[in-house]
């Protein structure tokens, strides 16, 4: 199936989004916001400590990936971080503070994101994170904002074409703290699984011949094929990976603000715009 079709098929998001503001998603100014002078005008308590803190400090601190093309990738030359998750962070900054640039990005990995949220280093996780029961014990998730599924990336011409080819002796690369690592152990128990700190390290290892395949969400793997067209996503998806943003447990005030924003973005077309910008085709309704 072609990339666009695959996205389409997997994208039946009941999600929503709408930048109340036409936020200039074309620019890549993802740098931390300049410290803003003065407190925002509205100093009344929001009922959410996180929102109060964001307003007091004048910026949202979002935990995002720096290793994931299309969702959150740092360009080492410019220092800019860009992707779908980054634009989502800008939209929240705009919603809460009226300015998408009142945003500080902090790098998280699959392994560090929940601890960093819990210890207060970040206000929210926006990092290709699958909603699941285990994680729901530790964080509160927003509504689904993207639907992915786990798949395989191989060098073009590889004999591995599906999960059934991951027999004894094959090496599969993935990332620590991801559902991808858990799932592949369960679904290909004979394969040897090697875990890396982040997706760029895993991809570098694949290219260096340290493994036969790399496994994670198709969304992330498609980003890698854009980085190196000698690699291809094969075999379709073998899990559902619905992405949610995550806030600290019990932070219902902040959760509601983000969920309301998602609904607005869906109804005013902003979500589709963001989707087209990063994924290339509009999700089917
Ligand atoms: N969506 C999967 C997860 O949340 C894989 C991508 C990632 O590691 O962030 O674990």
Read off the pLDDT of residues 100-157 as tens digits, 9 standing for 90 and up: 999 999 999 999 999 999 999 999 999 999 999 999 999 999 999 999 999 999 999 9
**Distance between Cα 22 and ligand 1 center (Å):** 29
Residue from 107, 130, 133 whose mutation best tests the ligand 1 pocket (most atoms within 8 A of CB): 130
Binning pLDDT at 50, 70 and 90, where does residue 46 land? confident
Least confident range of 43-52, 77-86, 100-109? 43-52
* Overall average pLDDT of the 81-97 stretch: 98
Q: Residue 34: its pLDDT value, please?
A: 41
Shared domain check, 213 and 73: no
| Structure-token pair, residue 34 | 């300049």
**Distance between Cα 282 and ligand 1 center (Å):** 23
Shared domain check, 207 and 172: yes
For atom 10 of ligand 1, the residue with the nearest CA is 178
For the chain, how many structural domains are there in total?
Answer: 2
Q: Does residue 88 lie in a domain region?
A: yes
Shared domain check, 202 and 133: no
Shared domain check, 225 and 206: yes
Binning pLDDT at 50, 70 and 90, where does residue 284 land? low
Q: Does residue 283 lie in a domain region?
A: no
Q: Does residue 86 lie in a domain region?
A: yes
Nearest residue to 263 via CA among 9, 18, 8, 13: 18
Characterize 141-154 residue by residue with b for buried, 16 or more Cβ atoms within 10 angstroms of its Cβ, and e for exposed: bbbbbbbbbbbbbb
Sheet holding 246-248, edge to edge: 103-107, 60-64, 124-125, 246-248, 139-141
**Distance between Cα 220 and ligand 1 center (Å):** 9
Is the pLDDT at 285 greater than 60? The verdict is no
Q: Does residue 28 lie in a domain region?
A: no
Q: What is the CATH number of the domain that holds 143?
A: 3.40.190.10
**Distance between Cα 183 and ligand 1 center (Å):** 11
Q: Is 239 touching ligand 1 by the criterion CB < 6 Å? A: no
* Overall average pLDDT of the 30-51 stretch: 58
Binning pLDDT at 50, 70 and 90, where does residue 44 land? low
Model pTM?
0.85
278 contacts: CB under 8 Å, gap ≥ 6: 70, 71, 83, 84, 87
Shared domain check, 49 and 109: yes
Shared domain check, 156 and 108: no
Q: Is 184 touching ligand 1 by the criterion CB < 6 Å? A: no
The average confidence (pLDDT) of the chain is: 88
Residue from 197, 215, 220, 245 whose mutation best tests the ligand 1 pocket (most atoms within 8 A of CB): 220
Nearest residue to 68 via CA among 172, 247, 216: 216
Q: Is 241 touching ligand 1 by the criterion CB < 6 Å? A: yes
**Distance between Cα 242 and ligand 1 center (Å):** 10
Shared domain check, 142 and 48: yes
**Distance between Cα 184 and ligand 1 center (Å):** 12
Shared domain check, 156 and 272: no
Is the pLDDT at 8 greater than 50? The verdict is no
* Overall average pLDDT of the 277-282 stretch: 82
Q: Does residue 16 lie in a domain region?
A: no
For atom 8 of ligand 1, the residue with the nearest CA is 178
Place of tokens 């260096």: 208
* Overall average pLDDT of the 150-170 stretch: 97
* Overall average pLDDT of the 189-207 stretch: 98
Q: Does residue 270 lie in a domain region?
A: yes
| Structure-token pair, residue 172 | 């599969």
Q: Does residue 285 lie in a domain region?
A: no
Shared domain check, 92 and 63: yes
**Atom from ligand 1 closest to the CA of residue 135:** 4
**Atom from ligand 1 closest to the CA of residue 65:** 9
Q: Is 259 touching ligand 1 by the criterion CB < 6 Å? A: no
**Distance between Cα 110 and ligand 1 center (Å):** 6
Q: Does residue 21 lie in a domain region?
A: no
Shared domain check, 138 and 48: yes
Share of the chain above pLDDT 70, in %: 83
**Distance between Cα 29 and ligand 1 center (Å):** 25
Shared domain check, 155 and 142: no
Q: Is 130 touching ligand 1 by the criterion CB < 6 Å? A: yes
Residue ranges making up the domain that contains 195: 150-234
pLDDT in tens, 217-236: 999 999 999 999 999 999 99
Shared domain check, 172 and 122: no
């Amino acid at each position: 199936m072609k990339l666009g079709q695959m996205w389409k098929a997997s994208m039946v998001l009941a999600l929503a989004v709408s930048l109340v503001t036409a936020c200039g998603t074309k620019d890549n100014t993802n740098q931390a916001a300049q410290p803003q002078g003065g407190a925002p005008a509205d100093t009344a308590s929001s009922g959410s400590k996180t929102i109060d803190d964001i307003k007091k400090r004048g910026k949202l601190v979002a935990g995002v990936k720096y290793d994931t093309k299309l969702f959150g990738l740092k360009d080492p030359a410019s220092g800019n971080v860009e992707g779908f998750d980054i634009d989502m962070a800008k939209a929240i900054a705009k919603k809460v503070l009226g300015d998408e640039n009142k945003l500080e990005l902090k790098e998280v990995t699959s392994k560090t994101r929940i601890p960093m949220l819990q210890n207060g280093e970040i206000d929210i996780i926006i990092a290709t994170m699958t909603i699941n029961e285990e994680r729901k014990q530790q964080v509160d998730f927003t509504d689904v904002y993207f639907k992915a599924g786990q798949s395989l990336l191989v060098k073009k011409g590889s004999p591995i074409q599906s999960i059934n080819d991951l027999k004894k002796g094959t090496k599969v690369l993935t990332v620590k703290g991801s559902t991808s690592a858990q799932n592949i152990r369960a679904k290909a128990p004979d394969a040897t699984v090697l875990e890396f700190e982040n997706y760029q390290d895993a991809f570098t290892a694949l290219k260096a011949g340290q493994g036969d395949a790399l496994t994670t969400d198709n969304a992330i793997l498609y980003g890698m094929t854009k980085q190196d067209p000698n690699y291809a996503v094969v075999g379709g998806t073998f899990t559902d990976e619905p992405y949610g943003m995550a806030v600290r447990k019990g932070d219902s005030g902040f959760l509601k603000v983000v969920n309301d924003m998602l609904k607005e973005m869906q109804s005013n077309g902003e979500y589709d715009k963001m989707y087209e910008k990063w994924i290339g085709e509009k999700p089917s309704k």
